[in-house]
Amino acid sequence: MKSRAFSFFQAFLEAVSGVAEELSSAGKPPASPWALVLVGLAADVEASYASGPATPAMAIALGAVLAATSRKLRGWLTVTLVSAFFAGLVALPALLRGDPGAPLFVLRAVAASSAFTGVLASLGWLWLLRGLEELRLPRGLVWELGLTLRAIPVFARDASRMLAAREARLLASSRASWSVVSSVAGDLLLAGVRRARALQMALEARSFGEPLAPRRRLDPRPADAALIAWALLMTAVFAGGA
């Protein structure tokens, strides 16, 4: 009989992998990558430290518009609802006590996640890295971030397969399932170290002595003006304490 612990974690990992793949699909972004990255960072910072609900609401609206424009509204909505669930779970004691700052805390967390997910939905992993490159971030940091982003769906699938294998071998009662689930973490860590080492050696063997590609130049588009205007309006609302 399938335990609740295995069912929950397998469903969660499969959902993470599916959403990551949906958001990572690379289409042509509606604006310049550098502009989307800058506006997304500004929305995240201002939504996280807002003194009122107006700035987080504008950040959520920005994420929704970007996700709808890229036809990835379902993935954006999934991430937003999951963020709201976990933020509400963390703030539940304060909400039960009637703390007036607890709803704003939840709104901040949801808004920051929503804005970042909307930017990611409109860019995809490839264009996100290009945007960071256009903003002159260190090449090593961009390269490592790219590897990390590509590994998220693989990591989720490996964890799901390990859980399925552990469940098939489990002969004890369902009470032991939580301890078995927690034991997967060590195997995942070891497997990740081995895979990272193999990847490092493969990359060093194939790109030794290869000249670095020239830096990408900024390429302004008409849509960039609308994005920057929205960011300036959000900054004005944030500075006004709303």
What is the chain's length? 242
Q: How many angstroms separate the CA atoms of 41 and 142, rounded? A: 16
Give the C-alpha separation, 100 to 158, whole Å.
42
Residue 48 CB partners (closer than 8 Å, separation 6+): 108, 109, 111, 112
* Lowest-pLDDT choice from 132-136, 201-205, 223-227, 230-234: 201-205
**Neighbour-count burial of 66, counting CB atoms closer than 10 A to its CB (0-12 exposed, 13-18 middle, 19+ buried):** buried
215 within a domain of the structure (yes/no): no
Confidence bin at 108 (pLDDT 50/70/90): very high
Average pLDDT over residues 104-126: 87
Domain membership flag for residue 213: no
Q: Does 73 fall in a domain?
A: yes
184/64 Cα distance (integer angstroms)? 36
| pLDDT cut 70: percent of the chain above it | 59
Instruction: Report the domain count for the chain.
Output: 1
To which residue do tokens 């604006």 refer?
31
Any domain includes 123: yes
Residues 130 and 136: their CA atoms lie apart, in Å, by: 10
Q: Is residue 119 part of a domain?
A: yes
Q: What is the 8-class DSSP label of residue 98?
A: T
Angstrom CA distances, 12 to 163, 206, 217, stand at 12, 36, 40
- Is 71 within the bounds of a domain? yes
Over range 111-137, report the average pLDDT. 82
Rounded Cα–Cα distance for residues 201 and 142 (Å):
19
Per-residue pLDDT of 50-92, as tens digits, reads 888 999 999 999 999 988 888 888 888 888 998 899 899 989 9
Looking from the CA of 222 toward its CB, the CA atoms found within 13 Å total 0
Three-state secondary structure string covering 187-221: HHHHHHHHHHHHHHHHHHHHCCCCCCCCCCCCCCC
Residue 214 lies in a domain: no
- Read off the pLDDT of each residue in 163-183 and give the average, rounded to a whole number: 60
For residue 178, the enclosing domain spans 4-207+222-239
Cα distance between residue 138 and residue 136, in whole Å: 6
* Residue 50 maps to a domain: yes
